[in-house]
Amino acid sequence: MNRVVVTGLGAVSPVGQSVKDYWSALVAGRSGLQPPQIERGETLTTKLVGQIRDFDAAAHFDSKQIGLLDRVSQFAVVAAREALAQSGLTLTDELSENVAAIIGSGSGGQGTMDDGFHRLYAEGATRLHPLSIPRMMMSAAASQVSLHCNLKGPSYAVASACASATHAIGQAFHLVRSGTVTAALCGGTESSISFGAMKGWEAMRIMAPDACRPFSRDRKGMVIAEGAAVLVLENLDHARKRGADILAEVIGFGMSADAKDLTAPDPNGMARAITMAMKDASLAPGDVDYVNAHGTGTVANDESETQALHKSFGDAARKLAISSTKSVVGHSLGAAGALELVAVVMAMRDAVVPPTINYLGPDPACDLDYVPNEARSMPVNAALSNSFAFGGLNAVLAARSFKG
């Protein structure tokens, strides 16, 4: 089996459209959550979202390209370009056939769908734009990353709601580890802050009216966000040979399904995914320094995730630094796991763990160390990134700092 390292990172988020800006906002605990600005959204009651208000598509794509790209694909391509540039990979004909593009998304081209269906149902239009289907299809972002970056290896989308990006990165990890490909661009993207989708979220009655405060007492729910992140995973030998700057190593992946409830989380299913990732990575509970939690800010998730960490770590759970970066950027659903793995890699690089902001004080059901409100300087040698989706689909990645 091949060792798999990270050689590039890219991010588009509500707090910055580059890894540098995203990461500095996470460490500073500078929230990107604001009241929504949504077309036709007058009847929405949502108080907060993580929108990327100043995303300028024209700065990244020419007018011909923009017509082909839903916003969800634009985010993915911008993040992929940043990651590929950082990796320094030169895509010769031969190499390009050995690089995968695996991109997760929870709901694909929602904006295209919402706008198109509004035209049909509300405005009485009789036809849709001819590119509606290729813009909105779930795999559009994966295709666009492949097209824009000239990647000719395996390419597909992975959908598992809020765990999509983590499953996508896990798939890419397996492809590089097994030697199927030399490298992979992988991650997730989401842009579903549309009138129709937000009405759906409002109906579930789980959105916070005040702030996203994961694991805190008086937390009132999650905040929907958009964004994308892409990582370059590469065969270690290949990265070494070309003298690449190795940012971290991906060492394990675990996944499970609860087979229990469509929306309620199950600590047992979560714990199985965590334990599987640690076993895959040959990590003992005491080896892990940091967990980037799923931490959505709902009462149910944060309590269940805490129980799952107790189950899988035993006494070592109390020594973990755990934080939810969703407190800063919100929950970008199918992109979340990738943005969070980027945070894990940066935490290793800079030896600083980003905080869980908006933390008011402990909830008896959440009794671990959530790095409240202030970033913490500490070495991070090994870490996990948790993603737990509606439908009981769990995915956990394990990474460690690269020491040769």
Partner 1 sequence: MIADKANPGHGEVRMTDSLTELGIDSLEVVELTFLLEEKFDVEIPFNANSDIEAKTVADLVSAVEGLVAAKAARA
Tell me how far, at minimum, the Cβ of 163 lies from partner 1, in Å: 19
Our finding on whether 212 is near partner 1 (CB under 8 A) is no
Residue type, 282: S
Count other Cβ atoms within 10 Å, centred on residue 68.
Answer: 16
- Dist. CA 325–CA 123, nearest whole Å: 40
Choosing from 120, 264, 284, 365, the residue that interacts with partner 1 (CB under 8 A) is 264
331 is catalytic: yes
Which residue stretch of 61-69, 199-207, 309-317, 392-400 sits at the interface with partner 1 (rule: CB under 8 A)? 199-207
Q: Is 205 in the site for partner 1 (CB under 8 A)?
A: yes
Cα–Cα distance for residue pair 30/24, rounded to 1 Å? 8
With tokens 């945070």, the residue in question is 343
Is residue 310 among the annotated active site residues? no
Shortest Å, Cβ 354 to partner 1: 24
**Which of the residues 149, 162, 212, 366 is marked catalytic?**
162
Given candidates 198, 208, 229, 393, which one binds partner 1 under the rule CB under 8 A?
208
Is 156 or 390 the residue whose CB approaches partner 1 more closely?
390
Strands (E), 87-204: 99-104, 155-158, 183-190
**One of 167, 186, 331, 366 is an active-site residue; which one?**
331
- Of 173 and 370, the one with the shorter C-beta distance to partner 1 is 370
- DSSP category for residue 394: E
Check binding of 259 to partner 1 (CB under 8 A).
no
State the angle between helix axes of 71-87 and 110-121 in degrees (0 to 180), rounded to the nearest 10: 160
CB of 49 to partner 1, least distance (A): 16
Query: What own/partner pairs with CB < 8 Å and gap ≥ 24 does 122-127 have?
Result: none
Name all contacts of 357-360 with Cβ < 8 Å and 24+ positions apart: 357/29, 357/31, 357/213, 357/327, 357/328, 358/31, 358/211, 358/212, 358/213, 358/216, 358/327, 359/213, 359/214, 359/215, 359/216, 359/327, 360/213, 360/216, 360/217, 360/218
Element containing residue 137 per DSSP (H, E):
none
Based on the shown chain and the rule CB under 8 A, indicate whether residue 220 belongs to the binding site for partner 1: yes
Structure tokens at 168: 């996508």
Q: Are strands 393-400 and 248-257 parallel, antiparallel or unpaired?
A: antiparallel
Among residues 219, 238, 331, 376, the one that binds partner 1 under rule CB under 8 A: 219
- Our finding on whether 85 is near partner 1 (CB under 8 A) is no
To partner 1, the closest distance from the beta carbon of 37 in angstroms equals: 23
Asked whether position 203 contacts partner 1 by CB under 8 A, the answer is yes
The span from the CA of 375 to the CA of 359, in Å, is 13
DSSP 354: P
Site string for partner 1, 296-315 (x = CB under 8 A): --xxx---------------
**Is 294 a catalytic site residue?**
yes
Q: Give least dist CB 36 to partner 1, A.
A: 17
Residue 156 three-state SS: strand
Closest to partner 1 by CB, 46 or 164: 46
Q: Give the binding range for partner 1 (CB under 8 A) out of 3-11, 84-92, 256-264, 323-331.
A: 256-264
Instruction: Please tell me whether residue 204 binds partner 1 under the rule CB under 8 A.
Output: yes
Q: Which is nearer to partner 1, 259 or 262 (CB)?
A: 262
Residue 59 makes contact with partner 1 by CB under 8 A: no
Decide: 374 and 323 in contact? Cβ < 8 Å: no
Nearest approach, Cβ of residue 203 and partner 1 (Å): 6
CA pseudo-torsion sign 209, 212, 216, 221: positive
**Binding string, residues 269-298; x marks residues near partner 1 by CB under 8 A:** -----------------------------x
Nearer to partner 1, 60 or 326 (CB): 326
Compare residues 147 and 299 and give the one whose CB is closer to partner 1. 299
106: tokens are 């929870």
Contact between 199 and partner 1 per CB under 8 A? no
| Angle separating helix axes 140-149 and 71-87, nearest 10 degrees | 40
Select 261 or 367, whichever has its Cβ closest to partner 1: 261
Closer of 68 and 206 to partner 1 (Cβ): 206
Active site residues per annotation: 162, 294, 331
Binding residues for partner 1 (CB under 8 A)? 203-209, 219-221, 261-264, 298-300
